[in-house]
Structures are given as structure tokens and as C-alpha cells.
């Protein structure tokens, strides 16, 4: 009897232990940067069933199935990229290698007004597809508007407004994290502020955010920021201003005006934050060179307009005028990234393409080359138009996040902007290690807990017991971006291990094919 009792006493704690079980992974000897912005410390982390089950100096490797010795390495939460455009590329490369190899474990897509309109269907498709990163999505205003009124250049009628509101509300209930706009794109450019306030109010009712690709990032940037803040104020919604920048040489240095506007708005009580990609070139559709009013109603209409000599002249004069404002003599700053009808254009500037076609070396001929490209369906392009000083000044703002503004890359396809491969590594290498613009702990905070807080990803962005085990382990001395404008298809270096939902995905700097990402839902799903 006595023996039995002793056995029982021994068995009880043992059974408790076996319920908790051995950790799947224990990370030892690393310098832990937990995402709060606090200093690094030596600590160990235990992971089981996708969660962090223990963290601190007291955690031992014990019977862990896998032990990662992170001696000399930084252990941080997986990076959250708040501004991506995954749509259409998820199943082309479900391993999302460009993101994973840059330390990204969660992407927020549906930005710049562009997304799926059936968010429930999209998120369940993401779950069934099984990709290597977690995905949350905004719903894009341009796609809501297109679904109801096409690319029409006019205000919505009350009946159309009702239809747009219904799409918006359903998206939030289905788990969108908020509303995005792309007010330089069609049909966003045709939309007035009250329409956005109306839809953003619905996002606010379901605890979402408003992410804005503003109406202008150049000459009219002040008005554009004010419009984003007005939407925040009137719709009572947190605002994220996307890829915060100053475009065009004539606007360089104006971050001295624009960053204080963000600070002032926060003092007023508007919950506004910003994000940036750490590069001086942007990347978007070549159509952004053209006057908005020529872009309505789709490609056939664009072509028909450009076939009319007076409208073609109007487009060319507009482009030449804007180039002069930039104090440039040629379209050398605009480099085609992907032009479907002729891929020999890819990687060449408009100036170079124009010469290649045997045309005169002047702006008029170059503007004509742009209209030719537009007649044939347009192209994506990289625009070299920002100043390094502005990039750094924006970076020093503490409530600025880092975001790639990129999609999942298919290796060696097109000449995309390098930010899709190297955003985080570039911040950690160039701006933290080499130029000391911000500290390592601060950079990690902006890549992790700040975005998680803003987008309400409640169990991510920090290294905490009970949180999802999204973890990156990197060498702070070695981490670097390899992708360049000339050779974009190159993975970042220095991320030795990446863990997504407790599953080792990068092992010794190699993506091992694990696809453990999940769809993440906004708060409206459970309200
Ligand atoms: Zn954008």
C-alpha cells in the first residue's frame, strides 16, 4: 500500500509533465531581442505545438526533439511585413522564399486599394494552399469600387454606395484587418474623400485599420497627408500611411515638413503610424506617368484615347511637363521592370528603350515611347526618385515600420524592385550596422511588435510565453541584402534559422520546404 502511494505521488507530476511533453525545439545560447525594443539578453526559448512554451535563462534543452545552438546569433520574433501585394503569386511560389529568407514570417496583403473582394474565400484558400508565411489581408477600395461601378470616372450613386458598404462589411466580418486605398490608381483617383470616410467607418466598426497609398507623394504630399488624417479623424479609425516618401527631386528634403505632421496628428489623438521601404527608388505601374483622366474604363478605352492625336499630345505634354518639374532632361529615372509584349525592355530605362528603338534622344520621343507601352497594355517600372536623406529622416521616426511593398517572387522572373528580397536585411545591414541610423533593438521592434500592435495580431510580434512561435535567428554581423536593381533575384544572407508557427522553415540558411503559415483573421471575425 505504501509503495503504491509513493508510486502514485511519483506518477502525478510525471503525468503532468508528459501532458506538457517535451519541447519540439529549444533555442539555446542566443542573444534574445524580444521585440519590445528592450536590450538583448542571453536566454533560451522552448517551443511546442506552434507556441512559445518558455523563455528565459532558466529554460533548459532537456528532452527537446531539436536543439538549436544560437551562440553568437540574435533570436528575435519573426518579422511582420505590413505592406505586401501577394495577390496572384501565392500559388506560383508557396514557399514565399524571398520573404522567408529575409526573416519575414507574416505578410499583410491587400494594400494600395488592391485585393480580393471575397475575403472569407481568400483566407480559406490561403489556409488550404499551405504557404510558408502567415497571411492577413486588407480589403482594397479600388476592387470594391470596380466590383460595383467598374472604372467609371464619377461619384458613386447612393445605391452604389450601399453596395460598396455591403462588400466592405462582409469583408470585415470575414476577417479583413481593415481597408486600403490606392488613390493614385484607377478608380481611386476618381474617388472623393467622403466615399472613403464612409467605407473606413465600417472598417472602424469592426476594429480594423485604414491603410493609405495616398493621393500624392510628390508636389501635393501635404494635401495628401491631410486627406489621410481627415479620414482617420472622421471615421475614427487608426491610420497607416503606406510607403511614406517624397517623390521627385523638387520635393527632396520635405520630410522635414511631413514627419512633423505625423507627430502633430498623434498629439491631436489620431492613431497614425507610417511605413517605408529602405530604398530610394519606387516601383509601380508605368501608367502613373500618365494623366488620370486618360486611364478610365480599361485598356480598350485607354488605347482608343491614345489613338486620338489631340489626346496623345495632351498625354505627352503632361509627361514632359512633369519631367521638367523634376528637373530632369530624360526619362532615365524610369526603368521598366516587366513588359509582357517585349521582355527585352525589362531592366532598361525609358531613355534606353527609346534609343534602342532608334528614336531621337529627346523627351518628346521618350514620352512617345511611354504612350506606345501604354497602348500595348502598360508595364511595371522602377522609378529612381527619392533622396537618401529623406529615407533616413523617415527611418528615424519611431513609429515608422519597414515594409517591402512586394509580392512573393518567382526566382528569375522579370526585373522587380530588390525590396521584395532584401528589405529587412538592408535595414539591419546598411542602416543599423553600417550607418547606425537606428539601433538593432529599435529596428527589430519596428519589424515585430509595432506592426503586430497596429494590425491587432495579438499573439505575434513578441517573444512571450503563449505567443505563436514565429522566430528568426540571424547573425547581426553577417546579415545583408544581396538583391540589387541590376540583379534583383538574390536572397538575403545571414538568417540562419526561421521558425513559422513552431516549424523550422529555414535550417542553416536553407529553406527546407516547410509550409507552416496560416491565414490570420482581423478582429471583425469574432465580434
Ligand atoms: Zn502603394
What separation in angstroms does the CA of 383 have from each of 201, 248, 249, 332? 34, 10, 12, 9
Q: Compute the distance from residue 244 Cα to the ligand 1 centre, in Å.
A: 10
Contact 24, 502 (CB under 8 A): yes
Per residue in 224-265, pLDDT tens? 999 999 999 999 999 999 999 999 999 999 999 999 999 999
Q: Compute the distance from residue 405 Cα to the ligand 1 centre, in Å.
A: 7
Q: Compute the distance from residue 63 Cα to the ligand 1 centre, in Å.
A: 48
Q: Compute the distance from residue 495 Cα to the ligand 1 centre, in Å.
A: 27
The residue among 223 and 16 whose pLDDT is bigger is 223
The per-residue pLDDT for 5 is 53
What separation in angstroms does the CA of 156 have from each of 140, 188, 191, 193, 224? 16, 12, 8, 12, 21
Per residue in 380-423, pLDDT tens? 999 998 999 999 999 999 999 999 999 999 998 888 999 999 99
User: Burial, 203: exposed, middle or buried (Cβ in 10 Å; 0-12, 13-18, 19+)?
Assistant: buried
Q: Compute the distance from residue 508 Cα to the ligand 1 centre, in Å.
A: 34
Per residue in 203-220, pLDDT tens? 999 999 999 999 999 999
The per-residue pLDDT for 6 is 54
Q: Compute the distance from residue 318 Cα to the ligand 1 centre, in Å.
A: 22
DSSP β-bridge partners for residue 507: 497, 510
Q: Compute the distance from residue 157 Cα to the ligand 1 centre, in Å.
A: 27
Task: Flag whether pLDDT at 353 surpasses 80.
Answer: yes
pLDDT range class, residue 310, cuts 50, 70, 90 = very high
What separation in angstroms does the CA of 285 have from each of 239, 334, 342? 24, 10, 16
The per-residue pLDDT for 326 is 87
Task: Flag whether pLDDT at 10 surpasses 80.
Answer: no
Q: Compute the distance from residue 205 Cα to the ligand 1 centre, in Å.
A: 24
Contact 186, 154 (CB under 8 A): no
Q: Compute the distance from residue 449 Cα to the ligand 1 centre, in Å.
A: 22
User: Burial, 163: exposed, middle or buried (Cβ in 10 Å; 0-12, 13-18, 19+)?
Assistant: middle
Q: Compute the distance from residue 214 Cα to the ligand 1 centre, in Å.
A: 8
Region of residue 420 (left: phi > 0; alpha: psi -120 to 50; beta: else)? alpha
Tell me if the bond preceding 424 is cis, omega within 30° of 0. Answer: no
Per residue in 174-191, pLDDT tens? 999 999 999 999 999 999
Instruction: Give me 332's grid cell.
Output: 532615365
Contacts of residue 111, defined as CB under 8 A and 6 or more positions apart, other chains included, come to: 83, 84, 85, 138, 140, 180, 182, 211, 213, 242, 405
Instruction: Give me 483's grid cell.
Output: 538583391
Contact 245, 282 (CB under 8 A): yes
Q: Compute the distance from residue 418 Cα to the ligand 1 centre, in Å.
A: 16
pLDDT range class, residue 527, cuts 50, 70, 90 = confident
Average pLDDT, the chain: 95
**Nearest by Cα to 27 from 511, 512, 517, 504:** 504
Q: Compute the distance from residue 138 Cα to the ligand 1 centre, in Å.
A: 13
Amino acid at each position: 500500500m505504501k509503495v503504491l502511494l509513493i508510486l502514485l505521488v511519483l506518477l502525478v507530476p510525471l503525468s503532468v509533465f508528459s501532458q506538457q511533453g517535451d519541447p519540439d525545439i529549444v533555442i539555446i545560447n542566443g542573444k534574445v531581442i524580444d521585440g519590445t525594443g528592450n536590450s538583448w539578453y542571453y536566454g533560451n526559448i522552448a517551443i511546442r505545438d506552434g507556441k512559445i512554451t518558455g523563455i528565459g535563462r532558466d529554460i533548459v534543452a532537456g528532452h527537446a526533439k531539436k536543439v538549436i545552438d544560437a551562440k553568437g546569433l540574435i533570436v528575435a520574433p519573426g518579422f511582420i511585413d505590413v505592406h505586401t501585394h501577394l495577390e496572384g503569386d501565392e500559388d506560383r511560389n508557396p514557399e514565399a522564399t524571398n520573404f522567408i529568407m529575409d526573416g519575414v514570417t507574416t505578410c499583410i496583403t491587400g494594400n494600395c486599394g488592391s485585393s480580393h473582394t471575397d475575403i472569407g474565400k481568400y483566407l480559406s484558400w490561403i489556409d488550404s494552399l499551405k504557404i510558408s508565411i502567415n497571411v492577413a489581408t486588407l480589403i482594397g477600395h479600388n476592387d470594391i469600387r470596380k466590383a460595383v461601378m467598374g472604372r467609371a470616372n464619377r461619384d458613386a450613386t447612393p445605391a452604389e454606395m450601399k453596395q460598396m458598404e455591403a462588400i466592405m462589411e462582409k469583408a470585415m466580418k470575414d476577417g479583413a484587418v481593415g481597408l486600403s486605398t490606392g488613390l493614385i490608381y484607377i478608380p481611386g483617383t476618381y474617388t472623393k474623400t467622403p466615399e472613403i470616410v464612409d467605407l473606413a467607418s465600417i472598417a472602424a466598426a469592426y476594429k480594423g485599420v485604414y491603410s493609405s497609398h495616398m493621393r500624392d507623394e510628390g508636389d501635393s504630399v501635404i494635401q495628401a497627408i491631410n486627406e489621410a488624417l481627415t479620414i482617420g479623424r472622421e471615421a475614427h479609425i487608426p491610420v497607416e500611411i503606406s510607403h511614406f516618401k517624397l517623390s521627385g527631386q523638387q520635393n527632396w528634403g520635405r520630410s522635414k515638413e511631413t514627419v512633423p505632421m505625423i507627430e502633430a496628428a498623434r498629439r491631436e489623438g489620431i492613431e497614425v503610424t507610417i511605413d517605408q521601404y529602405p530604398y530610394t527608388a519606387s516601383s509601380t505601374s508605368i501608367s502613373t506617368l500618365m494623366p488620370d483622366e486618360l486611364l478610365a474604363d480599361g485598356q480598350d478605352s485607354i488605347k482608343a484615347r491614345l489613338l486620338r492625336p489631340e489626346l496623345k499630345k495632351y498625354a505627352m505634354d503632361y509627361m514632359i511637363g512633369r519631367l521638367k518639374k523634376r528637373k530632369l532632361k530624360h526619362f532615365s529615372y524610369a526603368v521598366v521592370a516587366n513588359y509582357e509584349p517585349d521582355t527585352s525592355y525589362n531592366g532598361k530605362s525609358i531613355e534606353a528603350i527609346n534609343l534602342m528603338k532608334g528614336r531621337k534622344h529627346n523627351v518628346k520621343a521618350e514620352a512617345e515611347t511611354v504612350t506606345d507601352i501604354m497602348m500595348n497594355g502598360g508595364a511595371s517600372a522602377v522609378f529612381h526618385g527619392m533622396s537618401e536623406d529623406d529615407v533616413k529622416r523617415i527611418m528615424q521616426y519611431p513609429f515608422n515600420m519597414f515594409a517591402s511593398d512586394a509580392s512573393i517572387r518567382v526566382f528569375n522572373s522579370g526585373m522587380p524592385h530588390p525590396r521584395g528580397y532584401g528589405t529587412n536585411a538592408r535595414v539591419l545591414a546598411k542602416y543599423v550596422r553600417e550607418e547606425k541610423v537606428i539601433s538593432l533593438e529599435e529596428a527589430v521592434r519596428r519589424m515585430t511588435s509595432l506592426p503586430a500592435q497596429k494590425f491587432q495580431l495579438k499573439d505575434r510580434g513578441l517573444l512571450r510565453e503563449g505567443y505563436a512561435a514565429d522566430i528568426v535567428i540571424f547573425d547581426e554581423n553577417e546579415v545583408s541584402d544581396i538583391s540589387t536593381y541590376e540583379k534583383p533575384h538574390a536572397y538575403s544572407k545571414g538568417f540562419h534559422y526561421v521558425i513559422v508557427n513552431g516549424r523550422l522553415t529555414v535550417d542553416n540558411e536553407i529553406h527546407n520546404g516547410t509550409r507552416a503559415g496560416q491565414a490570420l483573421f482581423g478582429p471583425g471575425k469574432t465580434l
